[in-house]
C-alpha cells in the first residue's frame, strides 16, 4: 500500500497567518491527491482534488500544489473557521490511503 | 439537498455481525461510485471499501478483506456494508461517502457517520 506521510502532525498558528501542510507519498501518485478538512465530531469536507483543483464552494484562500510524491496545502490568511484537522488522501491505486492528519490549532 | 444518512451501528460483541446502511438522496445514486471510510476514536481516517456505480466492481482494505462485504441497491438508493467477524480494532465511526463526478475515489459528500463499538 502507498504510505502517505503528513508534516507536521500539529502546529499552532494565528488568524491571518499563511500556513503550509506537506504530504509525501511513498511512491509517485502523479496528481491523484485530495485534501480534506475535518472538524471535531463532523464528517470530513473535500477541499481540493487532483492535487490543485479547488472544490466548488471552498474559499480561494485554500490552494494545493505538487505532483509525483510531494504535495502541499496552503491556507493564505488563516481564518477562525479554519482551525481543524487536515488530511491528504491518494487515489492513484487501491487501497486508498490517507495521511495521518495535521491538526491546526489556535496560538 | 444532497444527503447521505447512515444507520445500523451499535454495540456488538467480538465475532458478531452487523449490516450498515447508507440512504442517499438528492442525487442520481446509480451514477456514482460509493465508499465506506471509518475513523477509530481519536484516530485518523481509514478507507474501507468501494463499489462501482453499477455494483460490478468492489475493492477492500486488507484489514477487512474476507470479513466485510459492500453492496448497493440502486432501486432503493441505498449502500450497504455487511460486517462480520468483528474485532475490537473495528470499533470506529463508519462514514459512507460519494465519489466526485469522474473521480470515483475522491469524496465530495459524506454522511454523518454511524458508530460501531465492538466490545464484550
Residues A7-51: tens digit of each pLDDT: 999 999 999 999 999 999 999 999 999 999 999 999 999 999 999
Backbone angles phi, psi at A67, to 5 degrees: -165, 165
The pLDDT of residue A13: 96
Say which residue the cell 432501486 belongs to. B75
Put simply, the answer to whether A44 touches B111 (Cβ < 8 Å) is no
Rounded CA-CA distance B59/A14 in Å is: 42
Average pLDDT, integer, range B9-37: 97
Q: Considering only CB atoms, which chain B residues are within 8 Å of A101?
A: 44-45
Residue B46 has its nearest CB partner, among A45, A94, A98, at A98
pLDDT band at B103 (very low <50, low <70, confident <90, very high): confident
pLDDT for A48-100, tens place per residue? 999 999 999 999 999 999 999 999 999 999 999 999 999 999 999 999 999 99
Q: Tell me which DSSP letter residue B110 carries.
A: E
Q: For B52-78, what is the mean pLDDT?
A: 97
How far apart are alpha carbons A13 and B13 in whole angstroms? 43
Whether A71 has its CB under 8 Å from any CB of chain B: the answer is no
pLDDT above 90 coverage of chain B, percent: 96
Predicted pLDDT of residue B45: 98
Which residues on chain A are in Cβ contact (under 8 Å) with B47? 89, 95-98
Amino acid at each position: 500500500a502507498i504510505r502517505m506521510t503528513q508534516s507536521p502532525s500539529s502546529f499552532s498558528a494565528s488568524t491571518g497567518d499563511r500556513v503550509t501542510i506537506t504530504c509525501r507519498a511513498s511512491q509517485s501518485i502523479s496528481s491523484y491527491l485530495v485534501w480534506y478538512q475535518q472538524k471535531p465530531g463532523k464528517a470530513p469536507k473535500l477541499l481540493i482534488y487532483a492535487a490543485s483543483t479547488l472544490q466548488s464552494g471552498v474559499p480561494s484562500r485554500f490552494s494545493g500544489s505538487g505532483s509525483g510524491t510531494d504535495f502541499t496545502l496552503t491556507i493564505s490568511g488563516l481564518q477562525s473557521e479554519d482551525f481543524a484537522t487536515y488530511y491528504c488522501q491518494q487515489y492513484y491505486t487501491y487501497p486508498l490511503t490517507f495521511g495521518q492528519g495535521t491538526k491546526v490549532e489556535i496560538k | 439537498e444532497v444527503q447521505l444518512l447512515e444507520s445500523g451501528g451499535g454495540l456488538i460483541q467480538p465475532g458478531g455481525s452487523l449490516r450498515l446502511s447508507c440512504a442517499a438522496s438528492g442525487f442520481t445514486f446509480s451514477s456514482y461510485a460509493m465508499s465506506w471510510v471509518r475513523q477509530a476514536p481519536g484516530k485518523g481516517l481509514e478507507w474501507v471499501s468501494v463499489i462501482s456505480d453499477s455494483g460490478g466492481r468492489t475493492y477492500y482494505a486488507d484489514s477487512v478483506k474476507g470479513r466485510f462485504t459492500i453492496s448497493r441497491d440502486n432501486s432503493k438508493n441505498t449502500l450497504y456494508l455487511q460486517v462480520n467477524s468483528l474485532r475490537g480494532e473495528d470499533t470506529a465511526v463508519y462514514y459512507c461517502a460519494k465519489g466526485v463526478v469522474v473521480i470515483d475515489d475522491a469524496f465530495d459528500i459524506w454522511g454523518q457517520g454511524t458508530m460501531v463499538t465492538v466490545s464484550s
